[in-house]
Amino acid sequence: MTSMVVREILRETRERLSAHPPTADRVKVNDARNLPARAADLRSRGISPIIAEIKPRILGRSLLPDEVAAMARRYEADGACTISVLTQPTYFLGSPENAKSAREASSLPILRKDFILEERQLDEVASDLVLLIAAFSPHLDGLVEAAESRGMEPLVEVHTEEELTAALKTGTRMVGINNRNLSTLEVSLDTFKRLGPVAKGSGLFVVAESGIETREDVLRMEEAGADALLVGTSLMQEPALLPLLNGAARP
């Protein structure tokens, strides 16, 4: 059972898809930027790999391309590992163009975050990585293969043991464990502490998502097996927090 907010986002997404017939255009990313390589480089310098998110909803408005570009450049300068870009247009006030602007402004890998329900959504914009939410993807394996065929790295997001099991049956090399409960929208870092070691033990690159607000939270997630950590709300509220979270600076 998902929350009313999530159900509304899914309804809107399906309506938007039904209103726009598929096209023959197909995205191909030939120069995908590598998240694990970037993470390894940062760790070699004692910096925790933070996936810094561009999340317009936190500001309560859509962003201009120049604003997205400026955020991307600042995240890179402050030692981000990757930039996550919300592209869902209604609830999160994002757009595919934001992902394009961020990729043009930065040399970091770009993760596109949206509610991907059909393969054709993958062709809306080129990105290095794309989020696939296991809970909303009845044909998860097919979407993983479709993303890879376009040169995008799929990051399969899970919230429960059952979803992690489903992700492990696909060809994904990365899994994101979201600490947010889809039914209540409450956040608990214990979710990652429970599922992280299982995913890590399966040989996947593991990302901790949601609820990470302090350097102590970062260290707790890393201890539980996080290879990278996705932070959105905290950084949108206070961009200067990034060097404190990743350990590049100390309070």
Where do the domains of the chain lie?
Answer: 41-245
Q: What is the pLDDT of residue 138?
A: 79
Cα(103)–Cα(109) distance, rounded to whole angstroms? 8
The pTM of the full predicted model, rounded to 2 decimals, is 0.96
Average pLDDT of span 133-158: 96
Cα(225)–Cα(201) distance, rounded to whole angstroms? 9
Band (pLDDT 50/70/90 cuts) for residue 22 is: confident
**Could you tell me if 63 and 70 are in contact, meaning their C-beta atoms sit under 8 angstroms apart?**
no
Neighbours of 77 (CB within 10 A): 11
Say if residue 214's pLDDT is above 90: yes
Which residues are part of the catalytic machinery?
53, 55, 113, 157, 178, 209-210
Dig out the tokens for 247 from the structure: 């350990």
Q: What is the pLDDT of residue 24?
A: 72
Percent with pLDDT over 90 in the chain:
90
Domain 41-245 has CATH 3.20.20.70: yes
